[in-house]
Amino acid sequence: MFRQERRLGFARIGFIEFEGEKIRTPTLIDFTEKPKLLKIMDFGKAPTVLKEIDESRFEILKSKDENFIIATGLSTLNARELVEYIYNLRKSSYKPLYAVAMATPKNIPLLYYMGVDLFDNILAIVKAYQGIYMTEFDELDADKVRDVVCNCPSCQNGDFSEKGLAKHNTFVMKRVLSMAIRDDLRNFVEAWVKFDPNLTAMLRFFDKLSNNCYPRFSKSKVVMTTEHSFNRPEVRYFLRRALDCYNPKGKALILLPCSARKPYLKSRTHSIVRSYIGNISKRGFEEIVISSPLVVPRVFELTYPAMNYDVAVSGDWSLDEIEFVSDWLCKFVEKGKFELIVGHVAGGYKKVVERVSDKLGLDVVWTVEKEVTDVDSLKRLKEVVEKSNFEGFDLYESIFEHMANYQFDTSFYVEKVKGRYPNLEFYAGKERIARIDTNYGCLDIDLPLAKTLIEEKKFCVEIDEFTPKGTIFAVGVKSADERIKPNDVVVFYNSKIFGVGRALMCGEEMLENDGKAVDVKKVGSW
């Protein structure tokens, strides 16, 4: 009945099929048009919130719908209760979730982000009969609306009757919903909720609940402009996972500021520094790049979201940022038994390193006079580097090892690295085994590594006996690794063939949900 095609984090894109019709989701059920969907829905005889008051009675009276989760009476819940309620409903099943009489232009993007698939225009109609003209963020007295900048038929015809208003209010909601269907939904939601303290609080509550279905890699850029960015699922996952996997080989460390251009190594600042000190991993130096709110060891700079994010590089740091980033930097620094730590940083970045030095009781060699790219500062850095004598390592091999561990929880043998940074390709013997996928910020693997992952039972999807082309649907999946998240590079196999693809849903979802499970990229036979 419901077929999922894609995930945008917690939100889904798909369609509902019934009586020979296809309805794309997310969708807004328009009550002014005698919606057909309603005919097949069981709303139950009691609002969902009765559960809190009298659970046994609720069990008798609730919606017993087999195809939808229908949540009614949600508007009586406060922000925290609402978030927890929707979260638990979403977790309980992959069926389409309908929040009845809940949607407004203001809350649609957040509700969609939290996993609601179906909305309606009941409030839009109710408000119209109260003489309210809705805009994206406001509810105005229709009699006082003078400057109409809306291009819906009602506004264009000057029809502000109750019916006309209902159509206008619905039009605004539909427009907002269609705007929210975008790869960088999270950025959109962060911006949208800023207009409403209640919605802002809801996003904060929602971020605290763990969710397993959030992608680890993505094509969309992470824009970090609000305090919510610290708690973004991508940011939290990256910092924890990178810390777990960080295994520095060098005995010395240089701390550097971030750059607007990614990867950092291709930026002007990092290129200038490199032109003075060369490839310093050969001299046994690790590098950690300080950003806000990220801390990025050089070996993870091609990993999402370090590879693809935007933040104001103003050098102006709030106390919260200094505290947050220095806490994480402490953890990364402690993972290396560094004999020498060089702080090639200024301004806010220097404040972060000073906090780290205080907290851990470390001696830091400071090399910056005024600016990171001053000739004097660079000469001083060069002196420090040239005086040292540590055992070197290969940066590109280290990047590969770290990314393989981060992504697949394993290590692969690599013999040779080819290509031009950041488009690196990794070889074992004459065979290419993987390359950097700069779009998603991850490794893309070839068939030899797919075999290894199948042997190790990591990120595998076992499928029925068919040779897949294009897409593997969830109905054809026999088993799937629970670690798989949407956008993960996965391997699939049956007794005849095996291959590499990109997951379109979570591993556990593949066994219960209907819809597109894996996008097929490469197929080989045993």
Angle between the N-to-C axes of helices 233-245 and 319-335, in degrees from 0 to 180, rounded to the nearest 10 = 30
- Work out whether strand 442-445 and strand 431-437 pair parallel, antiparallel, or are unpaired: antiparallel
DSSP state of 4: E
Q: Of 35-43, 82-90, 153-161, 483-491, which segment contacts Zn ion by CB under 5 A?
A: 153-161
| In the complex, least distance from residue 132 CB atom to Zn ion, rounded to whole angstroms | 13
| In the complex, least distance from residue 138 CB atom to Zn ion, rounded to whole angstroms | 13
Consecutive H or E run containing 407:
helix 395-408
Question: Which is closer to Zn ion, CB of 155 or CB of 223?
Answer: 155
| In the complex, least distance from residue 185 CB atom to Zn ion, rounded to whole angstroms | 25
Question: Which is closer to Zn ion, CB of 152 or CB of 213?
Answer: 152
- 130 contacts 143 by C-beta, under 8 angstroms: no
Q: Of 165-173, 197-205, 323-331, 379-387, which segment contacts Zn ion by CB under 5 A?
A: 165-173
Distance, in Å, from the CA atom of 490 to the CA atom of 213, rounded to the nearest integer, reads 15
**DSSP string covering 102-126:** ---TTTHHHHHHTT--EEE-HHHHH
Strand partners, 27: 118
How far, in Å, are 78, 94, 103, 328 from residue 109 at the CA level? 18, 19, 9, 31
| Three-state DSSP class for residue 30 | coil
Q: List the alpha helices (DSSP H) in 246-374.
A: 268-277, 319-335, 347-360
- Using CB under 5 A as the binding rule, whether residue 150 contacts Zn ion is answered as yes
Q: Of 53-61, 164-172, 394-402, 498-506, which segment contacts Zn ion by CB under 5 A?
A: 164-172
- Using CB under 5 A as the binding rule, whether residue 127 contacts Zn ion is answered as no
| In the complex, least distance from residue 148 CB atom to Zn ion, rounded to whole angstroms | 7
Question: Which is closer to Zn ion, CB of 159 or CB of 310?
Answer: 159
Question: Which is closer to Zn ion, CB of 177 or CB of 295?
Answer: 177
Question: Which is closer to Zn ion, CB of 90 or CB of 127?
Answer: 127
- 251 contacts 340 by C-beta, under 8 angstroms: yes
Question: Which is closer to Zn ion, CB of 153 or CB of 315?
Answer: 153
Distance, in Å, from the CA atom of 416 to the CA atom of 425, rounded to the nearest integer, reads 8
- Using CB under 5 A as the binding rule, whether residue 152 contacts Zn ion is answered as yes
Q: How would you class 389 by CB atoms within 10 Å of its CB: exposed for 0-12, middle for 13-18, buried for 19 or more?
A: exposed
Type of residue at 140: L
Question: Which is closer to Zn ion, CB of 152 or CB of 252?
Answer: 152
75-80 — which CB contacts under 8 Å span 24+ positions? 75/101, 75/102, 76/47, 76/49, 77/49, 79/198, 79/201, 79/202, 79/205, 80/201, 80/202, 80/205
| In the complex, least distance from residue 518 CB atom to Zn ion, rounded to whole angstroms | 43
Question: Which is closer to Zn ion, CB of 157 or CB of 525?
Answer: 157
Query: Residue with the closest Cβ to Zn ion?
Result: 150
| In the complex, least distance from residue 443 CB atom to Zn ion, rounded to whole angstroms | 49
Total Cβ atoms within 10 A of residue 475: 12
Q: Of 114-122, 155-163, 411-419, 485-493, which segment contacts Zn ion by CB under 5 A?
A: 155-163
- Using CB under 5 A as the binding rule, whether residue 174 contacts Zn ion is answered as no
- Using CB under 5 A as the binding rule, whether residue 145 contacts Zn ion is answered as no
| In the complex, least distance from residue 200 CB atom to Zn ion, rounded to whole angstroms | 27
Question: Which is closer to Zn ion, CB of 150 or CB of 414?
Answer: 150
Q: What sign has the CA pseudo-torsion 503, 504, 506, 512? A: negative
Question: Which is closer to Zn ion, CB of 106 or CB of 168?
Answer: 168
| In the complex, least distance from residue 155 CB atom to Zn ion, rounded to whole angstroms | 3
Distance, in Å, from the CA atom of 67 to the CA atom of 72, rounded to the nearest integer, reads 16
Question: Which is closer to Zn ion, CB of 152 or CB of 460?
Answer: 152
Q: What sign has the CA pseudo-torsion 19, 24, 25, 30? A: negative
Question: Which is closer to Zn ion, CB of 12 or CB of 168?
Answer: 168
Distance, in Å, from the CA atom of 140 to the CA atom of 206, rounded to the nearest integer, reads 29
- Using CB under 5 A as the binding rule, whether residue 166 contacts Zn ion is answered as no
- Using CB under 5 A as the binding rule, whether residue 249 contacts Zn ion is answered as no
| In the complex, least distance from residue 152 CB atom to Zn ion, rounded to whole angstroms | 3
Q: Of 166-174, 313-321, 391-399, 482-490, which segment contacts Zn ion by CB under 5 A?
A: 166-174
Out of 46, 100, 102, 155, the only residue in the binding site for Zn ion (CB under 5 A) is 155
Tell me which residue has tokens 């109260």: 130
| In the complex, least distance from residue 37 CB atom to Zn ion, rounded to whole angstroms | 25
Total of chain residues touching Zn ion, rule CB under 5 A: 4
Question: Which residues, other chains included, contact 151 with Cβ-Cβ below 8 Å and sequence gap of 6+?
Answer: none
| In the complex, least distance from residue 150 CB atom to Zn ion, rounded to whole angstroms | 3
Q: Of 17-25, 149-157, 203-211, 229-237, which segment contacts Zn ion by CB under 5 A?
A: 149-157
Sketch the per residue contact string, 26 through 45, with Zn ion: x for CB under 5 A, - otherwise: --------------------
| In the complex, least distance from residue 176 CB atom to Zn ion, rounded to whole angstroms | 13
Distance, in Å, from the CA atom of 380 to the CA atom of 374, rounded to the nearest integer, reads 10
- Using CB under 5 A as the binding rule, whether residue 168 contacts Zn ion is answered as yes
Distance, in Å, from the CA atom of 212 to the CA atom of 230, rounded to the nearest integer, reads 18
Phi/psi-derived region of residue 466, left when phi > 0, alpha when psi is between -120 and 50, beta in every other case: beta
Question: Which is closer to Zn ion, CB of 172 or CB of 341?
Answer: 172
| In the complex, least distance from residue 56 CB atom to Zn ion, rounded to whole angstroms | 46
Question: Which residues between 282 and 341 bind Zn ion (CB under 5 A)?
Answer: none
- The footprint of Zn ion (CB under 5 A) covers 150, 152, 155, 168
